[in-house]
Amino acid sequence: MLFNLSGKGFLTFLFFFFLVANSFAQSHQVQFIIKNLPPKTEASATIYLAGSINNWNPADSLYRFKNTAANKFELVLNLPSGINEYKITRGSWDKSEVKLNGSPASNRMLFVAKDTIVELSVEQWQDNFKQAEKKHTASKNVSVLDSAFYIPQLDKNRRIWIYLPPDYNTSIKKYPVIYMQDGQNLFDQFTSGYGEWGVDEIMDSLSRSGSKMSIIVGIDHGGDARLTEYNPYSNTRFGKGRGNDYVDFLAKTLKPYIDKNFRTKESAKNTSVGGSSMGGLISMYAIAKYPKVFGKAAVFSPSFWLTPEIYEFVKEENLKKNKIYFLAGELESNEMVPDMIKMRELLISEGVKEKNLKIKTSPDGKHSEWFWHKEFPDFYNWITGK
């Protein structure tokens, strides 16, 4: 069951949720033991836990397993009560655990209520499967705009994807544009690290049903630099934040380029920005910094816990004419839904109309591409007024 929260129902949910959250304040010691690894695992392998508790950082030194014996790895953590999602990696998402046949592994789930020992077995590593065995799934309406688009604000190059509506080449229409983060995971299974959103298939389907169409621009994340490029604030744990430079790139370099080279509706009300996790965080920051550039935003499973400064920043900006769609799963981290509610309440207190803010939670929602894929049509129909 999905909840669209507003009015008294929302306040009731808020009160109940914080009562439950307070009961989860206690932390417990959890000992993770990896008993079995794939046969091809190198003897010198460094194993990490990446999950909701460390912002899905695949190479977080604080979450590195110790090799206590031959092919036996151990990690001891103090975790808060409640639900935790995680996966096992060897330092990057292209070296993360997968199923025995190479298909993506679902997030592991752990409900912490007391000190516990968790024994794990890793079936296979993603990089043990040849890239050629992965299939290209991007529709014919998707193309790579540039494999190395220059980002002057970061002095880096990045692949940029573009989805054009099915009738783009047979019409003279202009279209709204949605700028989305983590381009690797939007359209093509071949390039995705842990599953794709399938945005192109969704848009193709919406087109066949007569929905209004948009251009979708996907910007690849920076790999190991993702945690800093999608973070507008410096962090002693993850390094200097480059998110401010990144959103400058979106607003001052990429959008002008797209508007110049494609038939777009350039106004803010026809320009959206969106993403999930760190991509959701930086999308919120982008609409707050450039409310006259980005009129709408998709803020999916945002990592607000990492940057408490963003609340004060949003408070100082004028978002009264903007529309924001918030989404989170109840099976994500304990902070996810409360942080999202806090942001919505802040915006309302600053004069943003409730009709311009939609918040949606799902009891089965996890921090994963399949969840964001499932919910993308609802976001899209909301911003297009269907």
pLDDT at 300 over 60: yes
Residue 233 clears pLDDT 70, i.e. is over it: yes
pLDDT at residue 20 greater than cutoff 70 = no
pLDDT of residue 259: 98
Q: What is the band of 139 on the pLDDT scale with cuts at 50, 70, 90? A: very high
* 82 or 250: which leads in pLDDT: 250
Distance between CA atoms of residues 302 and 337, nearest Å: 9
Q: Label residue 102 by pLDDT band (50, 70, 90).
A: confident
pTM: 0.83
Nearest to 368 by CA among 299, 277, 273: 277
Return the minimum-mean-pLDDT range out of 30-34, 133-137, 170-174, 199-203: 133-137
> Which has the higher per-residue pLDDT, 73 or 193?
73
pLDDT for 70: 66
* 119-131 tens-digit pLDDT: 999 999 988 886 5
What is residue 169's predicted lDDT score, i.e. its pLDDT?
Answer: 96
The residue-averaged pLDDT of 246-256 equals 98
Q: What is the mean pLDDT of the chain?
A: 91
Mean pLDDT over 360-373 rounds to 93
Q: What pLDDT is stored for residue 36 in this prediction?
A: 92
pLDDT at position 129: 80
